């Protein structure tokens, strides 16, 4: 698998404009209303869109959301399963394990946890990683605040709310950068069974300062907005008004066969 970050960092190549905070100022952000059957297929679609953007086959950014119908664990591209995941507990809970194309630590998903993705092509070089986090998550936090919860950006790529006097994580996010494109995607805990996280994941090998060593049950919270409100916030954050119908079906099929349905690939770095 290619390196997660395989580009040269330089000055930003995009600016705010008609396409929103991550667009190139000339093409609208398109909304892809597609949720495929399985977790692996949806992860493959994210990578296929990134590949299309990198190869110059996408004119502008694409945003989408999806939700898994069953509990699953999604590990980062470089995650070590034994450090982050309780595989016996996953088997007992009937939770499948998948590996995504982006970095970061493992997450638990399923009904009540909305997944969101944003892919965009770059005309030249991309900005520094910290700038990408800010350009994507700041407008998303603002759009969620407009819906009610006081969402703030915390750590490297988290969104959190203040609950019971403590900041609790409601969204964890990761990115994959190619030289001419970027994929940014993550979770939105909304009405999710948070006890699953405690059961299926170990305490992470690294954590943001604001976590303060708290266990999963004391660190996570739900937004409680409902899918329509969160989906509307994602669309509003990135100005995703145009609707896209096409998606790279053949590439998704290839990636599922080569990686996302291959136990050896998912289980590497055990």
**Residue 26 has what pLDDT?**
55
Please tell me the CATH code under which domain 29-266 is placed: 3.30.930.10
**Residue 55 has what pLDDT?**
93
Q: What is the 3-state secondary structure (H, E, C) of the chain?
A: CCCCECCCCCCCCCCCCCCCCCCCCCCCEEEECCCCCCHHHHHHHHHHHHHHHHCCCCCCCEEEEECCCCCEEEECCCCCHHHHECHHHHHHHCCEEEECCCCCCCEEECCCEEEEEEEEECCCCCCCHHHHHHHHHHHHHHHHHHCCCCCEEECCCEEEEEECCEEEEEEEEEEEEECCEEEEEEEEECCCCCHHHHHHECCCCCCCHHHCCCCHHHHECCCCCCHHHHHHHHHHHHCEEEEECCCCHHHHHHHHHHHHCCHHHHCCCC
Q: Report helix angle 129-146 to 227-238, nearest 10.
A: 130
Tell me how many degrees the CA angle 132-56-244 measures, rounded to the nearest 5: 80
The gap from C-alpha 206 to its chain's centroid, in whole angstroms, comes to: 18
Taking alpha carbons only, the member of 107, 100, 82 closest to residue 1 is 100
The answer to whether 34 and 45 are in contact (CB under 8 A) is yes
The answer to whether 254 and 41 are in contact (CB under 8 A) is no
CA distances (Å), origin 76, targets 22, 46, 151, 166, 176: 23, 14, 24, 27, 11
Tell me how many degrees the CA angle 50-2-252 measures, rounded to the nearest 5: 40
Q: How many CB atoms lie within 10 A of CB 1?
A: 12
Per-domain residue ranges for the chain? 29-266
**Residue 128 has what pLDDT?**
86
Taking alpha carbons only, the member of 118, 123, 109, 114 closest to residue 137 is 118
Enter the tokens of residue 88: 């016996």
Q: What is the pLDDT along the chain (270 residues), one digit of tens a residue?
A: 223 333 222 222 233 333 334 544 457 899 999 989 999 999 999 999 999 999 999 989 999 999 999 999 999 999 999 999 999 999 999 999 999 999 999 999 999 999 999 999 986 667 788 999 999 999 999 999 999 999 999 999 999 998 778 999 999 999 999 989 999 999 999 999 999 999 999 999 999 999 999 999 999 999 999 999 999 999 999 999 999 999 999 999 999 999 999 999 998 877
């Amino acid at each position: 698998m290619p390196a997660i970050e395989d580009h040269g960092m330089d000055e930003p190549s995009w600016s705010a404009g008609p396409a929103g905070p991550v667009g190139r100022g000339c093409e609208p952000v398109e909304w892809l209303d597609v949720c495929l059957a399985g977790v692996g297929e949806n992860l493959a679609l994210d990578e296929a869109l990134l590949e299309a953007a990198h190869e110059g086959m996408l004119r502008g950014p694409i945003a989408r959301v999806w939700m898994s119908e069953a509990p699953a664990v999604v590990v980062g591209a470089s995650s070590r399963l034994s450090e982050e995941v309780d595989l016996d507990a996953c088997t007992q809970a009937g939770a499948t394990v998948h590996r995504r194309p982006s970095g970061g630590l493992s997450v638990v998903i399923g009904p009540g946890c909305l997944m969101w993705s944003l892919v965009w092509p770059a005309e030249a070089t991309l900005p520094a990683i910290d700038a990408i986090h800010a350009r994507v998550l700041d407008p998303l936090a603002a759009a969620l605040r407009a819906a009610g919860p006081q969402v703030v950006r915390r750590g490297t790529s988290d969104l959190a709310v203040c609950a019971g006097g403590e900041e609790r994580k409601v969204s964890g996010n990761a990115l994959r950068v190619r030289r001419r494109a970027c994929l940014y995607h993550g979770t939105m805990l909304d009405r999710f069974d948070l006890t699953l996280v405690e059961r299926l994941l170990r305490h992470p090998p690294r954590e943001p300062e604001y976590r303060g060593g708290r266990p999963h049950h004391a660190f996570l919270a739900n937004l409680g907005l409902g899918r329509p409100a969160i989906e509307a916030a994602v669309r509003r954050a990135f100005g995703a008004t145009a609707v896209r119908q096409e998606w790279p079906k053949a590439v998704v099929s290839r990636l599922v066969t080569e990686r996302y349905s291959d136990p050896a690939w998912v289980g590497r770095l055990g």
